[in-house]
Structure 1
Amino acid sequence: MAHEEPRGREPSAGLSPAAVALAARCEPRVNELARRMAREVFEQLRGYSGLPADVKDVEIAATARHAMRLFLRGAAGGTAPDALEHFQDRAAQRAEEGMPLHLLLRTYGLGVRELWRVLRETAAPEEQDALAELAEALFTAEDRVVGAVTESYLDEQAALVAERQEQRRSRARALLAGDADPGGPVTDWPALLLYVGFTAPAPPGERSSVAVRRLLRRVQTALDRACGAETLTLLDGHGGHVIVPGCGAAPPRLLDALREAVGPEVRLACARAEAPGDVPAAARQVAEVVRVARACGRPPGLHRLDDVLLEYHLSRPSDASDRIAALLAPLDGRPELLQTLRIHLGQRQDRRATARALSLHPNSVDNRLTRIQELTGLDFGAPRDAALALAALSVRRYEETV
């Protein structure tokens, strides 16, 4: 007679003697069943056949053997917490080896199915109640093991990703600091130096750390895909430097990829480094090109040194910078006059074009220009004074962004 269990009994309360006896009769088949799983059953899984033979014959077969013995000998129903450590360790190992998680989990699912098949084949007609007990215990154990395996795998995978990212950041830091390349073969050069600006500078704490991490993940993915290589990045919530090893020119879709990841406000500048020693100077240049372009009011996008060549030159700090900037000090507190001067010079001193850009009548532009000349003493009809005004604007706008 099969042992009758009261309805509603929890699996953790223990198995009946009949269920324990049925499980014990299946245990001698564990070795043969584990070999069959590792060499035949799991072969139906896509990607499994490409695993090394020692992984299939030793690691996976041993894990299957351990799991089946653990279950069949467990007369208390379910799996003891400390017994999960073995599966967690194996899951971490599979993550390190690069085995896909879906493939790992499907081996457990197929293993449970095969063990259930053996239990059914072994059970006598009068042991149906015992078989039902073992089925409940088996599925409960599978749920716990799969949960532990998934958690361990994902933890290890996250740790590996973080380690690779930190290695890439460390290499970027070293190169930007002018140190010897700590990890790159000779074939990594020349390299492309980028400076990416996401937004205008914002106060600390404006973006949450979670939002920044998500932003940087999107940017890293966009860079790797567009460049077809693992890029070395040193970025924060507002942008930063990127090194693309083995690349001498910006990929055609780079700007579009960054806009998809960040938005239309992205700014980008590029330079080429022939060797590790060229990186610091190239990095300074691309960062300055973006800063000058922003200071000059240029729209977001790809900025080239030639696009801001004059402003770049005029904004270089020198002993005369403060005195040049002071030429426009009389206009402090009059932003409309500074705006008029900047647009007027940008429109090649065409008063009508300036008026259109400002939505003003040309006479109003004339009045503003006259007032500017009275306050500063500069005569914009004289080439030298116009050049001084442009230099003063460039220095002031540059200093505002530093």
Structure 2
Amino acid sequence: MTDHKPGGDLALGGQRVHERLTQEEPELIARVLTRIQDEVADYRRLPVEELAGDIARITQQAVRAFARSLREDRQLNDAELRQIGASAVRRAEEGFPLEAVLTAYHVGAREIFAVGSAEAGSADVADLLDVADRVLAFVGTVTGAVTRGYLEELRTKVGQEHTARRTLLSVLADGGPVDVVARSAGITLPARYLVLSVELGPHADEASPGVDADIAIRRKLRRFLAAFERSCGEGVLASLDGPGGLVLLPLAGRLSAVPEWHALVDAAGRAAGVDVLAAADTATPPEVRLVAARTGEVLDVLRWFGRPPGLYRLDDVLVEYQLTRPGEARDRLAAVLAPLDAHPELVETLSAYLELDTNRRRTAARLHVHPNTVDYRLRRVRDLTGIDPLHPAGLPRIIAALAARRATVPRN
């Protein structure tokens, strides 16, 4: 057995390997990222923001961890392995393939070796073999950390706590023995919840060519919920898909006032990188079922009236809510616009005109038509319905009729 040479003394081409890796770190990281995208197809479907952010960050951490371990002649320590494991957890949360993550680390290790040995000569064979052995040991250690972190997250997602919380949310939203379920799951119910029915706008990555839309959606939802969990702890309950859903936040000190509700929803939207339209109210656990149904109805009203992103309560849309309740009056209001069914361009123009505060020039710009065309179409609406959207007296009725129409025949 040969004598052990300290890692900090390993030199190739007249330069210590750990010093070369540190000196060329920016170029090395760029090479690793490029090679990963070239050789691992799943990474090409990731959003650019994630590649330049989280993936670049963990690549840098891994390169630095190897250089330090070489300089200090040791294996990776617990803190370094936790960083690598935490990154694997995030990939598992996004549903990113474990195989792709492991392959990326192997690609990175090969690039580390290539850079570190670039100047090696015939006199460096012994050190070159030692460096290669240390790179292989590094890959083995990293592979174990990645696999553990990834699989532990999967077990968590399907584990007992996850199942219990999903069951509790289902009972709260659908009605049932809430206290019994909470006790059996070991969950302490708050005195009140902030009930949010939310609609999330699409993230730009969802429509980006070459980006896996499913991963982009899961990432959006993860970031959205993480913002709530940072503020409200583990008591957050949510049922969300791509477009939105239901969120229950335990009411605590920082959520005691309405301005804090607005701030928290705004922060969650920024974290997810999307616009958020939300209807909010508070409820005791037994009241969640009824309140969630009502906030869902308020969210529909917000959509029908084209309200901008933000958080709203029933009090903010009392008139609009009442106008769109099912009944004979709503049906008759919707029927006012029935003559427009054969003229979709008139409905489109009327909708844009009202959404843009009756500004005909902005309406023309949105529809890519001449302002005179907008005037002509609005006069046609008047002729067909008997209500003049160009006259202030006609606006309340035409707005109500359009909302009633949307409530009767919801848009896709």
Give the TM interval when normalised to the shorter protein: 0.5 to 0.7
Deviation at 1:396? 1.4
How much has 1:256 moved relative to structure 2? 2.9
Q: Measure, in 1, the Cα distance between the counterparts of 2:354 and 2:137.
A: 77
| 2:214 pairs with 1:214 | no
Q: 1:298 Cα shift?
A: 2.0
Q: Which residue of 2 aligns with 1:270?
A: 280
For the residues of structure 1 that align with 2:281 and 2:80, how far apart are their CA atoms?
Answer: 38
Question: Which letter does structure 1 place at the counterpart of 2:156?
Answer: L
Aligned to 2:298: 289
Alignment match of 2:332 (pick from 323, 344, 354): 323
Q: Is 1:312 matched with 2:317?
A: no
In the TM superposition, what are the counterparts of 1:2-151 in structure 2 within 5 Å? 102=82, 151=147
2:303 alignment partner AA:
R
Please report how far the alpha carbon of residue 388 of structure 1 lies from its aligned counterpart in structure 2 after TM superposition. 4.5
* Partner residue, 1:242: 247
The equivalent residue for 1:180 is: 177
Q: Are residue 334 (structure 1) and residue 343 (structure 2) matched?
A: yes
1:194 to 193, 196, 210: 196
Query: Residues 197, 331 of structure 1: CA spacing in aligned structure 2 closer, same or farther, 3 A cutoff?
Result: same
Choose 1 or 2 for highest CA Rg: 1
Give the aligned residue type for 1:301. G
For these two proteins, the number of residue pairs brought into alignment is 270
Please say if residues 221 and 272 of structure 2, whose CA atoms lie closer than 8 Å, have aligned partners that are also in contact. Answer: no
Q: Distance in 1 between matches of 2:245 and 2:151?
A: 29
Secondary structure of 1:401's partner? coil
Supply the distance in 1 between the matched residues of 2:347 and 2:251 (Cα, whole angstroms): 45
Report deviation, 1:232.
Answer: 0.3
Query: Following the alignment from structure 2 to structure 1, what is the Cα–Cα distance between the partners of residues 268 and 329?
Result: 38
Once the two structures are superposed, residues 165-205 of structure 1 have per-residue CA deviations (whole angstroms, 9 ceiling, x without a partner) of: 333222111100022322276660111101121137x99xx
Question: Partner amino acid for 1:212?
Answer: I
Partner of 2:152: 156
Tell me, in whole angstroms, the C-alpha distance in 1 between the residues paired with 2:378 and 2:148: 70
The corresponding residue for 1:256 is 266
Partner of 2:66: none
Unmatched runs of 5 consecutive residues or more in structure 2: 3-78, 86-132
| 3-state DSSP of counterpart to 2:308 | coil
TM-score, normalised relative to structure 1:
0.53
C-alpha change, 1:318 and 1:170, in structure 2 (3 Å) is: same
Contact 2:378 2:390 in 1 (8 A): no
What code does the residue aligned with 2:239 have? L
Q: Against the structure 1 CA distance between its residues 207 and 284, is the aligned structure 2 distance closer, same or farther, given a 3 Å change threshold? A: farther
What is the identity, as a one-letter code, of the residue corresponding to 1:260? R
Letter aligned with residue 236 of structure 1? D
Deviation at 1:319, TM superposition (A): 4.0
Q: Relative to structure 1, is the Cα distance of residues 304 and 371 closer, same or farther in structure 2, using a 3 angstrom cutoff?
A: same
8 Å CA contact 2:323–2:404 kept in 1: the answer is yes
Match of 1:169 in 2: 166
CA distance in 1, matches of 2:326, 2:158: 39
Q: CA 1:363 to 1:198, structure 2 compared with 1: closer, same or farther past 3 Å?
A: closer
What TM-score does the superposition give when structure 2 sets the normalisation length?
0.52
C-alpha distance in 2 between matches for 1:381 and 1:145: 72
Residue type at the aligned position of 1:183: A
Paired AA for residue 343 in structure 2: R
Q: Could you give the per-residue CA deviations for residues 98-150 of structure 1, whole angstroms, max 9, x where no partner exists?
A: x99649x9xxxxxxxxxxxxxxxxxxxxxxxxxxxxxxx9x999986885576
Deviation at 1:302, TM superposition (A): 2.1
**Which residue of 1 is the match for residue 38 of structure 2?**
none
The equivalent of 2:18 in structure 1 is none
Percent of residue pairs bearing the same amino acid type: 37
Partner residue in 2 for 1:80: none
CA separation of 1:388 and 1:101: change in aligned 2, threshold 3 A:
same
Contact 2:336-2:401 at 8 Å conserved across structures: yes
1:287 CA drift (Å): 2.0
What is the alpha-carbon distance in structure 1 between the residues aligned to residue 384 and residue 375 of structure 2?
14
Contact kept in structure 1, 2:189 and 2:285, CA below 8 Å: no
Distance 2:360 2:195 in 1: 40
Alignment-derived partner of residue 19 in structure 2: none
Q: Report the counterpart of residue 411 of structure 2 in structure 1.
A: 401
2:7 aligned residue: none
Tell me the SS of whatever aligns to 1:197.
Answer: strand
